[in-house]
Structure 1
């Protein structure tokens, strides 16, 4: 049932997106050990996984703004296996806090906070991930990680276990040139990593997961081209979190949006 719901929601999102593909469905990755990436969140709609996300404090999860179209109703924390969810302790209802100027993926600002209905229970299975303290530029070719639940290849199957992959940061100007042949200008405030030039990255469906570099979440999975997931013809695109720190800090201080 969960797989059927997941596939239905992914198809709905793809029909809306047209040329874009969304998600942190991990291509050529590996299973994440249960004691690592304790910040990962499964963003769900009526009990079915629709997007990735990551915990940044006891009250908020970060995900992609385009995930709002899938009507996220809760997040699951504390498990890498979505077949093993204790609804009483792992599931948290959420309020969406989309970045105010977000319109669509192509125009950027693809970031959203989810306010948890109660404080996250931190411990051996749940821990937040730090964000950059100030605006940063990640060095080209830096090795970073991206993780998520979802398809493992074009037309593949939905997985229940969290997977991760190491991806290199792509020079932003090179990324703009590659994308320029397809859609014109990239939106502002993005980071490119993986995809073009590698056989690793993400594919369509379950966005919002973190791009993690040196132990900090620096990007939010946003989009790629949907027609080629196994060997993407352009780099994968992430929202640059450091560009949104003032907005994030304001919401965290208010503890509301």
Structure 2
């Protein structure tokens, strides 16, 4: 259920200054997006399998192109606390339609030509099928690979009709809180890209949540994202 970029290319330096690499013990686990100087938005399940007793191990790296190099533009900031959506887990059952989490940073990020805040959508709008979008991250570049990519990759994707997602994923897909993209077998997000934002016409519309288990390039099952605009009220109550 985890989600690298398949069929993508290296992202242009400085093209995605809002991107965050979420790391535990200096190892990349998920992508995320800087939405305020001291808040990163990502997927709740990123910390399901990576729970560490000492939160100081969770860090966010901003301004990075190659996460395995110490670049002078990088900012490495410890996470003070993680705030999962209260409905993301109920009676030990995970509800992926609430797969959203905020990370409160210990220090504010310094905004500069390498790091910037991504504005959230203004309101909850319907997304149209076939809209062209893109996603970036440091996840695996092969469908079965476990190694994260050193350099940020990006790939273009098209939104799928919600009814098709519902038909395939059934009760796993909630069309009010989720959107999905077409799986063509060649372009996809994959392991290590969970939490990365799906950008459509310069607006962040989704957070990468899940893909077909064990095969990111499965052509039958659309890839699924939590719909950011649905959660605007919740986000605003926390970040102010």
Could you tell me the TM-score, scaled by structure 1's length? 0.83
Of 159, 166, 184, the match for 2:156: 166
CA distance in structure 2 between the partners assigned to 1:175 and 1:116 by the alignment:
35
Shift of 1:204: 2.9
Asked if the contact 1:172/1:191 (under 8 Å) is kept, the reply is yes
Of 88, 95, 100, the match for 1:102: 88
CA distance in structure 2 between the partners assigned to 1:126 and 1:162 by the alignment:
14
Deviations 1:42-64 (A, max 9, x none): 00111111111010111110000
Structure 2 residue runs of 5 or longer lacking an equivalent are 52-56
Deviations 1:108-152 (A, max 9, x none): 200000011111011010011111111011211000011111211
Of 49, 54, 59, the match for 2:38: 59
Shift of 1:107: 4.2
1:125 aligned residue = 114
- Tell me if 1:79 matches 2:64: yes
- Tell me if 1:149 matches 2:138: yes
Of 28, 41, 56, the match for 2:7: 28
1:227 aligned residue = 214
RMSD: 1.9
CA distance in structure 2 between the partners assigned to 1:217 and 1:88 by the alignment:
24
More helix by share: 1
Matched residue of 1:219: which SS? strand
Asked if the contact 1:59/1:116 (under 8 Å) is kept, the reply is yes
Runs of 4+ in structure 1 off by over 4 angstroms are 86-89, 104-107
Matched residue of 2:5: which SS? strand
Of 192, 204, 210, the match for 2:180: 192
Asked if the contact 1:106/1:186 (under 8 Å) is kept, the reply is no
Could you tell me the TM-score, scaled by structure 2's length? 0.89
CA distance in structure 2 between the partners assigned to 1:86 and 1:118 by the alignment:
19
Of 202, 206, 226, the match for 2:189: 202
Asked if the contact 2:137/2:154 (under 8 Å) is kept, the reply is yes
Shift of 1:89: 5.9
Alignment length (residue pairs): 228
Shift of 1:228: 2.2
CA distance in structure 2 between the partners assigned to 1:128 and 1:64 by the alignment:
18
Structure 1 residue runs of 5 or longer lacking an equivalent are 1-20
Deviations 1:223-249 (A, max 9, x none): 011232234431000000111000111
